[in-house]
Structure 1
Amino acid sequence: MTLIEARLNGPGRPRRKPLADIVESALKKTRNQLQNEVLSRQVINVRPNIDTTNFQKLLGLLKVNGLIAVPADKNLGLCLVAMDWYHQAGLKLLHNKSYVEETPDHELLQYTYSEIQYKWLRQPIKEKWDKFPTLEVIPKIHKLAISARPIVPTFDTLLANASVWIDYQLKPLLSQFPWILPDSKTLCRI
């Protein structure tokens, strides 16, 4: 038993399932949920500026023709894509060889988890926060051969605050690299 396992289990406590196994199980479950989300994505998630009757007609028209409306990359507006293309693009992103499942260092994971619990976790994780982010496929219509960009929004998930903090920490670094544009407005001013 490692020092970290001894700390996590404590003396006289029944041996718990190793934290690394729990993390691995959660990661595999997340991958499956992401794949299912891609395959089930068939609705428009925007607030329509038309009445309900016309909106339902529009949804029916899209469904009959096997289309979905999704936001385009670079905020270029909504675009219509075939559901088959959307599903294939999502699966292609999920099965990309550059996203290889790594074998984790279990001791490092356990140490990191105990440090996070001790230093950063103010309260127990509530069940309502136990929501995994879902994969969104955004068409890159500004490219000659239209491709897809993976987006995983983290709002309303356990990772939301971490995402905001990372964004805040990385913002000052952008000014050190003049070839990185901070926003679309800067591109328009060039």
Structure 2
Amino acid sequence: MLKDGTTVNVILYKSEPGILDKIKAANAVSAHLAAKGFPVRHTVDSRITKMTNGSHEKYAAVYTYLDGHTIPWEEYNQDHIKALGMTMSNMHAALADCDYLLPDVADEYLAIVARMRAYFADAPVQRALADKLLLAIKPEVFDGFEQLLVGSKLLPGKQPLHMDLVRSNVLFEDVEDNEDLKVRRPGGG
């Protein structure tokens, strides 16, 4: 809590390749949406703290606090889904004029597909799947995903998208009467 009584969050980010660029991109998108009046978590100021312990680096930043609560997927009703869809639609419309250079979604997912392909091609993983789950995943299954993602890079009309829409990033208030949906992590990439 700040001296003026404002509640804030300090977020310590995991260490991974390219994390600083991801933090900056998410912060830029959050600031863009906050400036347009969206109830999103955004930085209190532009500073990002770097902490070093030997060869390990971590980053942290201070963010606004959002009231509200998450709800389990099984408790979502039609009103929740409609509020979520409307908010995502409005958010993506507001991001259409965001000129911050963000990572290409297709590139992000191509990297994930490559890791999945390598993981499921590993002989011990294949044996475990066969022995424990009676499953076999052929590496060729990933060809279609790659083709789809490479093809999507050729499409026009790209704009920033939310790439981390999971239950823990969506907060609801006044669920019964007036849906007030807030997005904890509006930036992605």
Which structure's CA Rg is the greater one?
A: 1
Query: Relative to total residues, which structure has the larger helix share, 1 or 2?
Result: 1
TM-score by length of 2: 0.20
Q: TM-score, normalised by structure 1?
A: 0.20
Higher relative contact order at CA 8 Å, sep ≥6: structure 1 or structure 2? 2
